[in-house]
Amino acid sequence: MRYATLPLALLLLIAVAPRAEMQPKPEPKGKLLAERAYFAYYTGSRIGWQKVERTEVVQDGKTLIRESESMFLKIIRDFDGQTFLIESQSTSLQTPDGIPVSETSSSTSGSQTIIRQTVFSADAVTVKETIDGGETRSSTVDAKGKKVATSNWAWHTLKTQDRLKKGETIEYDKFESDKKAFQKETWTVSGQVARKTTAGKMLEGIEVIVVGGGSVSRIVLDPEGFPLVASLQGGFSIELTDTIPKDFTPEPVSIQSAMPTKTVIKQQMKLKTMDVVIDYKHDDTDGIEPLVDDSEYHDVVKFDDENGSGYGLRLKSQKLPADFTAPKLPMADLTDDVKRYLKPTTICQSDDADLMKEAKRLTEGMTDSRKAAEAVMNWVYKYLTKSSGDTGNASARQAYEEKKGDCTEHAVLFVAVARAAGLPARNIGGIVYLASGNNAFFGYHAWAEVWLGRWVPVDATVNELGTSARYIMFQIDEPGDTYGTGRISRCIGQKIKPEVNAYLLQDGTSWKRRGAREFKFGQKPQDAPTNPGKED
């Protein structure tokens, strides 16, 4: 079975009928093998349920295993009562030993529904999907050289080979249909364990540690390979239950969407550098990358000593210099790795007639790609009312129709209209520093990047192209990209509290916290601040 995870948009905070050709085919009758029901929890609060049914069926003369799953999640934020509802149903077909054949799923978040069909062949995986009854989009991912399998295959192989013993490992390539990408998944057997559920029931089974998709999970399995309890990164978990009550009532959850910091920088838009420390128990392993790494956004030092562990970061400004020259429109000689970010996707419908019309109106006749990007950004900033909708991760089309949204809607609408205007653009997720009045905090955030000869950050939520030194970049949130996956959930799981150690403004003004950790970021001598400023 699959294990439910929260989408990026909910972690950042944290229906229309489908077209006929995407309707799932009637399922053949079969022999019922097993049924399971689970409660879902987030940071200790019961927020939903999951049901699984496993059936043996015969299709085209072949015996297959069908798994049907249904899931209901309702996130109620304790600090403002904002509610996010997620419902999904899926049916997968696998060989008896767990090799995937096909999967059909329907997922509704708020008022937005995505229908997805995935078909596996020897050399490729094809995904067809539609959102809110719109155009069906098809993607094909190369599977050559991959060990394509499922968690059922991992369990079946370990069990039939008598390898359910402490220290045994197995590895395979798991396909993530929503990401349109393969991710390596590794199981390591811990052995026989007993775990107590929230209801106080003791359950015994074989525990495996699963590493993949940028996170680590601990799952206790029964003799048939079904989870008894599963602790997933980011505070999400499931527990076996006998039944799901018809009057199921979810509990409000405490979501760490903002992390207060003591240092208030009133001129945050003029930050040249900002030194930040994140106390963090290191969880990177084989298959899991460090929480943060060096990039255009920051230089990073990992520390682990008698005083603690974590990361030191020097956030860097990406303001464009006065002599910056952007490519001319239409852009020519784009490499394939950049050109791919001109294509429409299910969420970023850059080929939508209305969005294309807006792009033409905003940029027609422009030859300076920077000015074109600014025109799109300014329009998105003014067009969208700053308000969360009921959809955790609304599409560009939905954001355009509702004329409101938080950071995710600002980012996705910018990306879609920018692409329609011939500007390669992509969605980014991470953390940003914000100060207002006498308060300041770091918050989970979404923004965009646009290609202007190099990738330039664009935050349409605050109308900033070329950002100041206040962004921590985690992931590229686009189909086919797996960079940074799981980082936000890892932060939420450890309840991080970033703190400012020092900063330098564009005019040379600087500040440093007394007694703060010192990090060597490898900066060149000529880049060092000449004015040490006053200390805290």
DSSP per residue over 439-507, as a string?
A: EEEEEEEEEEEEESSSEEEEETTTTEES--S-EEEEEE-STT--TTTTHHHHHHHHT---EEEEEEETT
pLDDT of residue 253: 87
Q: Which long-range contacts (CB under 8 A, 24 or more apart) does 48-51 make?
A: 48/4, 48/72, 48/73, 48/74, 48/86, 48/248, 48/250, 49/241, 49/244, 49/248, 50/4, 50/238, 51/244
Question: For the segment 126-161, what is each residue's pLDDT rounded down to a tens digit?
Answer: 999 999 999 999 999 999 999 999 999 999 999 999
Question: For the segment 58-109, what is each residue's pLDDT rounded down to a tens digit?
Answer: 999 999 999 999 999 998 877 777 888 999 999 999 999 999 999 999 999 9
Question: For the segment 352-373, what is each residue's pLDDT rounded down to a tens digit?
Answer: 999 999 999 999 999 999 999 9
pLDDT of residue 132: 94
Best mean pLDDT range from 243-257, 315-329, 380-394: 315-329
Q: What is the DSSP letter of 508?
A: S
Please state the rounded mean pLDDT for residues 451-479.
97
Band of pLDDT at residue 285, cut at 50, 70 and 90: confident
Lowest average pLDDT, out of 26-40, 256-270, 511-525, goes to 511-525
- The answer on pLDDT for 452 being more than 90 is yes
Band of pLDDT at residue 26, cut at 50, 70 and 90: low
pLDDT of residue 257: 74
Amino acid at 395: S
Band of pLDDT at residue 28, cut at 50, 70 and 90: low
pLDDT of residue 392: 77
Three-state DSSP state, 215 = strand
Considering only CA atoms, which of 486, 510, 488, 489 is closest in space to residue 500?
Answer: 510
Sequence-separated (6 or more) residues with CB below 8 Å from residue 204: 192, 193, 194, 195, 220, 228
Please state the rounded mean pLDDT for residues 488-513.
95
Q: Which residue's entry shows tokens 């013993």?
A: 165
pLDDT of residue 421: 98
- The answer on pLDDT for 525 being more than 60 is no
- The answer on pLDDT for 15 being more than 70 is no
Q: Is the pLDDT higher at 244 or at 255?
A: 244
Band of pLDDT at residue 326, cut at 50, 70 and 90: very high
